[in-house]
Amino acid sequence: MATTDALTATEAREETISLPRFAATALVTSVVNLVLNALAFALLLKDFYRAHPAGSEEFVKQLNRPVDQLIPWAMAVTSLSMGAFITLVTKWSGARTFVTGLTRGALFGVLFWTSVNSGLYASSNVFSLPSVLVDTPCSALSMALSAAVAAWMLGRLRRKGT
């Protein structure tokens, strides 16, 4: 019994990460996720959403703020909270390498974004069905790659003993 308790305590120490290290990982994960989502939007989704709108042009204009009316602090909060969320889920999953982070992040991303986008499609006029079918894998891929970076960083930090 004492051996089991000692093993558990040792494992717990190995899995503990300091708040500054977690925050650094979450910050990097936030930036990676933001850049990947911005690239997906700029390269693919922007034109796709125009080609497959959720409603009339006037309706879509009412849904989205023009670039000059975006609220920067709210965008920052969104990005930082998503990065912390991805980092926390990655830590809880036990992923500590790029590949394990990628695979677990992909599974989590597909489930998460299928739920969010399907829910929005079911209950609002934000998406068209084609938009849901394209946005979901794009968002899941961004989350998977972000989780891979988080796992890699968490694994590096663990090997360094912090």
d(CA 86, CA 158): 18
pLDDT for residue 7? 40
Helix axes 19-40, 72-93, angle to 10 degrees: 120
Note the pLDDT tens digit of each residue in 107-134.
Answer: 999 999 999 999 999 998 888 899 899 9
Give the domain ranges of the chain: 20-159
d(CA 89, CA 101): 10
Q: For the chain, what percent of residues have pLDDT higher than 90?
A: 64
Q: What is the mean pLDDT of the chain?
A: 87
d(CA 85, CA 30): 9
Q: Which residues touch 91 (CB under 8 Å, ≥6 apart)?
A: 17, 22, 150, 154
The segment with the largest mean pLDDT, out of 34-38, 50-54, 60-64, 156-160, is 34-38
Report yes or no on whether pTM surpasses 0.85: no
d(CA 131, CA 49): 6
d(CA 149, CA 62): 36
